[in-house]
Chain A
Amino acid sequence: KAGVTQTPRYLIKTRGQQVTLSCSPISGHRSVSWYQQTPGQGLQFLFEYFSETQRNKGNFPGRFSGRQFSNSRSEMNVSTLELGDSALYLCASSLEYSGAYTGELFFGEGSRLTVL
């Protein structure tokens, strides 16, 4: 079974630009969540989508947005990039109730964004 796939793995942008990151969840998983990880702030929750609806949202400005498609693939977008947006962006998918564990998160390898 293929794992969570994130693209691109690495990208460099300049301040003011926008960026779109993609996440393909494990087949059958309908929940996709996004995280930002920086050395200073740790692993912070951005938002979570389930069946194309945003179900939970972290404390990030409106420049950070996301969406989920009918095939459960998800994208997140960051507009008007700032230097502080440089981070590893992680996506995770989960099967709500697997029977063994509840809501176990499966993470991708991340997209490392550098803003110059």
Chain B
Amino acid sequence: LAKTTQPISMDSYEGQEVNITCSHNNIATNDYITWYQQFPSQGPRFIIQGYKTKVTNEVASLFIPADRKSSTLSLPRVSLSDTAVYYCLVGDMDKYIFGTGTRLKVLA
């Protein structure tokens, strides 16, 4: 079973910042947190990974509080093309458990 809990869906407008939070209360000491993006009929694509504090790359930021029981994926200034399902994964061997993900719909 997935060790993570995410909102099922979210709507946003173009140009806004979107924050998707994932709860992982049972995260283990050596677990990393990884986010993937999936478009219809395609395989998921890696977005970002972190262990603690804040990680930023060219497409997103990942905020992880000190207790690591949750994490927030931040997508700056979303566009219509960011409409997709976003998955939060936690763990080593559990890294294959995708859960239901968060369906983000970006509106014009």
What residues of chain A have their CB less than 8 Å away from a CB belonging to chain B? 4, 33, 35, 42-45, 48, 55-56, 58, 88, 90, 92, 101-110, 112
CA distance A92 to B42 in the complex (A): 12
Contact of B100 among A33, A42, A92, A106 (CB under 8 A): A42
CA distance A48 to B100 in the complex (A): 20
Asked if A106 contacts B41 (CB within 8 A), the reply is: no
Asked if B42 contacts A110 (CB within 8 A), the reply is: yes
Asked if B98 contacts A108 (CB within 8 A), the reply is: no
Looking at chain A's contact residues, the main secondary structure is: strand
27 A-B pairs (CB sep. < 8 Å): A4-B43, A33-B96, A42-B99, A43-B98, A43-B101, A44-B98, A45-B96, A48-B96, A56-B93, A58-B96, A90-B44, A92-B43, A101-B32, A101-B46, A101-B49, A102-B49, A102-B92, A103-B32, A103-B95, A104-B34, A105-B44, A105-B95, A105-B96, A107-B42, A107-B43, A108-B43, A109-B42
Closest to B1 in A: A59
Contact of A106 among B38, B46, B87, B98 (CB under 8 A): B46
Task: Tell me how far the C-beta of B40 lies from the nearest C-beta in chain A, rounded to whole angstroms.
Answer: 10
Once A42-B100, A43-B98 are accepted as A-B contacts, the answer to whether A107 and B41 lie under 8 Å apart by CB is no
| Chain A residues with CB under 8 A of B99 | 42
| Chain A residues with CB under 8 A of B95 | 103, 105
Task: Tell me how far the C-beta of B37 lies from the nearest C-beta in chain A, rounded to whole angstroms.
Answer: 11
Once A43-B87, A102-B49 are accepted as A-B contacts, the answer to whether A56 and B43 lie under 8 Å apart by CB is no
Bitwise interface map of B from 45 to 88 toward A, beta carbon under 8 Å scored 1, else 0: 11001000000000000000000000000000000000000010
The answer to whether B27 has its CB under 8 Å from any CB of chain A is: no
The answer to whether B97 has its CB under 8 Å from any CB of chain A is: yes
CA distance A103 to B45 in the complex (A): 13
| Chain A residues with CB under 8 A of B41 | 88, 110, 112
Closest to B46 in A: A104
Asked if A109 contacts B98 (CB within 8 A), the reply is: no
Closest to A34 in B: B96
Task: Tell me how far the C-beta of A108 lies from the nearest C-beta in chain B, rounded to whole angstroms.
Answer: 6
